[in-house]
Amino acid sequence: MPYFSYKLQIVSSGFVAFGFAKLFGGSFLDSLVAFIISMFIFYIKDNIQRYGFFQFLEFFISGLIAGVLSIIVGKFIYYVNIDKVIIGAIMTLVPGVAITNGIKDALYGDFISSFARLIEASFIAIAIGLGVGVSLILQLSWV
């Protein structure tokens, strides 16, 4: 796998978020907010990973940050759809490659490897969902 500079990785995660927020029906403003939040999430997740925390916590905190920042921006800027921003911001976290490799391993007959990859991808998706869910529950208590 080629190495890309850290700045390019951060900006690329922002563009992925921008594209997905736009793809799911967000406005330009929604996509721009998702762009900024996704870059921040990438930076925070990378710093958490350097300290050696377990993967579930990394993705939980990343989902929590995506939800909290989206809600905060939505409170200050009325025209921002927080659902589109959250969708765009968490798309860089979704374990698409792990799911694809798990299915590929199953098709090749490597069922133990397939099961392990799919379970890992499921835990990542659950962690992201729990992080966003906790932020949305916290939003209800703020109102």
pTM for this prediction: 0.89
Q: pLDDT band at residue 49, thresholds of 50, 70 and 90? A: confident
| Model pLDDT, residue 54 | 85
Q: What is the mean pLDDT of residues 82-92?
A: 93
Q: Using alpha carbons, list the distances in angstroms from residue 54 to 60, 66, 97.
A: 10, 19, 19
| Model pLDDT, residue 141 | 76
Q: Which residue has the higher pLDDT, 49 or 34?
A: 34
| Model pLDDT, residue 3 | 84
Closest CA to 5 of 61, 50, 46: 46
| Average pLDDT in the chain | 91
What percentage of residues in the chain have a pLDDT greater than 70? 97
Q: pLDDT band at residue 143, thresholds of 50, 70 and 90? A: low
Round to whole Å and give the CA distance between 5 and 22: 26
Round to whole Å and give the CA distance between 80 and 131: 20
